[in-house]
Structure 1
Amino acid sequence: MNTAAQSPFRILCVVGARPNFMKMAPIMAALAELRPHVDVQLVHTGQHYDVAMNHQYFAALGIPDPDINLEVGSGSHAIQTADVMKKFEPALDQVQPTAVLVVGDVNSTIACALVAAKKGVPVIHVEAGLRSFDRAMPEEINRVLTDQISDLLFTTEESGEANLLREGIAKERIHFVGNVMIDTLVRNLPRAISAEQIVADHGKPGFASGAEGYAVLTLHRPSNVDDFAVLRTLLETANRIGERTPIIFPLHPRTRGMIEKAGLNHLVENSNILLLPPMGYLEMLGLMKGARVVLTDSGGIQEETTALGTPCITLRNNTERPITVDEGTNTIAGQDPDKIMAIYNEVMAGGGKAGRVPYFWDGKAAVRIAEKLQAWMQAGCKTS
């Protein structure tokens, strides 16, 4: 039986980069419950093109193999966005979906949304309305433009709706459903791999077992790793922290390249910092769960640490996820070493911000999305 041929509604879901995978996993599972009335197909643009790492994430999260892989690969923002658009249009023509569902704020998100909108196919944006108000961030451009051309916008926190209304988005298009990233976290937390096992597997047993615990560091944003002076400052600050609290540092390949290019290897090659290759989802979840503190420039990690109750120091001057600061365990430090150290010392002295898990971060956001989509499709894909 060809379900796709018989289904009156067909949703084409798009992933491109690993942060998308964590968001799409629960959505795919929730939409699968609508079969046979809804057919769901998955496109992987190949924006993150490490085949082994992608397979590891798909397997760990239970995401089905993509129906279509565009195999775009790397490139500048312009080249990558253009390549996704060129390769996605034939896929869209082939599938002829009722709607295209995109998540997050990567280049694949805006590229596929733009192709769909220009061809008159409704766009559904999950994780809409987040704003850093920093147009120097490529992700901010992607977020704003994707929201402007989306027909349905699903928000993770209430500030998202206020941002969208301010930008002229009709209220009936906006639905506050919660955070699908937390759906994935809740589902996989019992399977998280402990830091003790991870460090032992990498030949450093006992590294994370001291009285002061351990810290986790991640860096990947251009504002932190492309400016060698900033990169040096952050790594020197990490060394200061490492003198008291050993640091586990999963190293993004691009960050590793910049450290080598800047001649800063000596700042990460010491006994207080354990360099690891990029970690899979279950490994990162275990590292964050057990950490005394996490230092990061990642948006998703700000959310995950809030859900886990782990203190987070964000190495940026702003965040598009203000709820992690207002209600969660996150504190914005920027790149100022004195401020970073002051926040770190507060965490070590008193445990850091207690925080709380925000409303609708309950592991059921994807179910609410599926319910809204079903009602929308039954109403003829109209928002009013």
Structure 2
Amino acid sequence: MTITLVAGARPNFMKIAPIIDAIENKKSLGFDINYRLVHTGQHYDKNLSDTFFKELNIPFPDINLEVKSGSQAQQTAAIMVGFEKELQKHPCDLVMVVGDVNSTMACTIVAKKAGIKVAHVEAGIRSGDMNMPEEINRILTDSLTDYFFTTSEYANKNLTNQGVQTNNIFFVGNVMIDTLLKNEHRFKKPEIWNTLNLEEKKYLVLTLHRPSNVDEENQLKALISQIKMEAKDYPIIFPVHPRTKKLLNGLNLNFKNLHYTNPLGYLEFNFLVKHSLAVLTDSGGITEETTVLNIPCFTLRDTTERPETCNIGTNVLIGKDFNKLSNAFSKLFSRQWNKGTIPELWDGKSAERIINHLIEIYKL
């Protein structure tokens, strides 16, 4: 059996890493299972792609389609053209896509039109917000997927409501957490830790990249200004996404406690998260990591496709409501933040479950 694994953006790499480990483990036990790793090039900044392959010990891709940036349509089209050629040259038994980026949707469409079955890792999650490009990617991908590997019972329910047969849904847990738990002992201090003399639980981490937060200058300026005010004198470490960096130029947000840094590698970024007082983010994946690391998390969005991080985790939805932001900071500083628990099957063994299911399905 040959699986084509698709990775396109930073979160994909973290999800692919444990799957490759699980495949290699089964190969070593004599199972006839192989993979070919395709990097679409959707993220092409070295700090957002190559670094993660090195840090997470992922073999470098068999091919990089090098699609780079463009509009949603341009990028999706480029991925589809490149991936179609890839499958023609290198046929496979199964295409495995992960997450909800443009590469996920585009490669699913190409695979299905080529008559190849698709497995979707992190299937079934929904925010209900059709203004998010990722939500459209999720819905389209899951409408074509053959095998659905899910992170929660919530995702299972979404799929059954969609009409998916239950025997094609496999609740396996969260592969991102596989990577987190495997590498937690390897987290390392970034240079900014010593430069700013940071101390454990005495700083905040901020990340922003969603169009709803960063595409409108006045909105972005108001949000960062409010966070700066609520944070008192706590340093705010802001690794800036390339997309956001362009928008910050000229806004003159030179606050004393706001510290910009280039995108960080996986091990350095999660060191900052683990030792922070709290994280403010519009990233879904980071809310999963903060839940497992038991770090308070402010989600700067109105909706989440990962409700388990709010229901039982450490995450609180803030959106653009500055009253909610102020109340959340009050809880944080008064040490009244809810202590979260870890969702079911987020135990570091999700990738192993995925490959075991595929071995059973394909009777290897």
Same fold (TM over 0.5): yes
CA–CA distance in 1 between the matches of 2:275 and 2:354? 31
Q: 1:130 to 1:53 in 2, by over 3 A?
A: closer
Q: Does 1:75 align with 2:70?
A: yes
- Structure 1 residue 15 and structure 2 residue 7: aligned? yes
Report how far residue 45 of structure 1 moved.
Answer: 0.5
Match of residue 338, structure 1, among 285, 300, 323: 323
Residue of structure 2 equivalent to 1:4:
none
Any stretches of 5+ residues in structure 2 without a counterpart?
none
Give the TM-score, by structure 1 length: 0.91
Query: Contact (CA 8 Å) 2:231, 2:329: kept in 1 or not?
Result: no
Partner AA of 2:210 in structure 1: R
Aligned equivalent of 2:86: 91
8 A Cα contact 1:101 1:125, kept in partner: yes
Confirm or deny: 8 A CA contact 1:88 1:115 kept in the other structure: yes
Deviations for 1:127-168, whole angstroms, at most 9, x for unmatched residues? 000000011100000001101101000000110010001111
Q: Does 1:110 align with 2:118?
A: no
Determine whether 1:236 maps to 2:211: no
2:358 is matched with 373
Task: Quickly say closer, same or farther: Cα 1:46–1:341, change in 2 above 3 A.
Answer: same
User: Which residue is equivalent to 1:169?
Assistant: 164
Q: CA deviation at 1:351?
A: 4.7
Q: Aligned partner of 1:126: which letter?
A: V
Please state if 1:58 is matched with 2:50. Answer: no
1:139 counterpart (130, 134, 139): 134
Mapped partners of 1:242, 1:343: distance in 2: 11
One-letter code of the match for 2:199? Answer: S
Amino acid at match of 1:285: N
The 8 Å contact of residues 198 and 283 in structure 1, kept in 2 or not, is answered as no
**In structure 1, how many angstroms separate the alpha carbons of the residues matched to 2:335 and 2:48?**
37
Measured in 1, the distance between the counterparts of 2:256 and 2:221 equals 18
**CA, structure 1 residues 352+126, in 2 after alignment: closer, same or farther (shift >3 Å)?**
same
Ranges in structure 1 where 5+ consecutive residues have no aligned partner: 1-8, 380-384
Q: Establish whether residue 47 from structure 1 lines up as the match of residue 42 from structure 2.
A: yes
Q: CA deviation at 1:209?
A: 2.3
Per-residue deviation, 1:53: 4.2
Q: Which residue is 1:321 aligned to?
A: 306
Give the Cα separation in 2 of the matches to 1:96 and 1:259.
44
Map residues 340-355 of structure 1 onto 2, 5 A cutoff: 340-355=325-340
Could you give the per-residue CA deviations for residues 284-319 of structure 1, whole angstroms, max 9, x where no partner exists? 110110010100000000100001000000000000
RMSD: 1.4
Please state whether the residue corresponding to 2:122 is helix, strand or coil: strand
- Whole-Å separation in 2 of the counterparts to 1:217 and 1:52: 17
Q: What residue number does 2:212 align with?
A: 223
The code of the aligned residue for 1:187 comes to K
Farther-moved stretch of structure 1 (27-36 vs 143-152): 27-36
Q: Secondary structure at the match of 2:362?
A: helix
Identity across matched positions, percent: 48
Q: Does the CA contact (< 8 Å) of 2:124 and 2:155 recur in 1?
A: yes
Distance in 2 (CA, whole Å) between partners of 1:297 and 1:286 is 19
Determine which of 199, 208, 217 is the counterpart of 1:209: 199
Per the alignment, in what secondary structure is the counterpart of residue 303 of structure 1?
helix
| TM superposition shift of 1:345 | 1.3
What secondary structure is seen at the aligned counterpart in 1 of 2:26? coil
- One-letter code of the match for 1:193? K
Question: Structure 1 CA distance, aligned partners of 2:94 and 2:68?
Answer: 25
Write the letter of the residue equivalent to 1:33: N
- For 2:245 and 2:323, locate their aligned partners in 1 and report how far apart those are by CA, in whole Å: 25
Counterparts of 1:249 and 1:305, CA distance in 2? 16
Give the one of 199, 216, 236 matched to 2:193: 199
Per the alignment, residue 117 of structure 2 pairs with 122
Q: Which has the higher contact order (CA 8 A, sep 6+)?
A: 2
Aligned length: 361
Q: Decide whether the 8 Å contact of 1:32 with 1:40 is kept in 2.
A: no
What's 2:259 paired with? 274
Return the letter of the residue paired with 2:251. Answer: L
How far apart are 1:225 and its partner, in Å? 0.4
* Mapped contact 1:124–1:150 kept (Cα < 8 A): yes
Give the 5 Å matches for 1:173-188: 173-188=168-183
Deviation of residue 372 (structure 1)?
Answer: 0.4
Query: Is 2:150–2:171's contact at 8 Å kept on the other side of the alignment?
Result: yes
For residue 358 of structure 1, report the CA deviation from its aligned partner.
0.7
Indicate how the Cα distance of structure 1 residues 257 and 12 shifts in structure 2: closer, same or farther if over 3 A, else same: same
- Preserved contact between residue 42 and residue 67 of structure 2 (Cα < 8 Å): yes
| Preserved CA contact (<8 Å) 1:194 1:290 | no
> Mean Cα displacement is larger for which, 325-334 or 49-58?
49-58
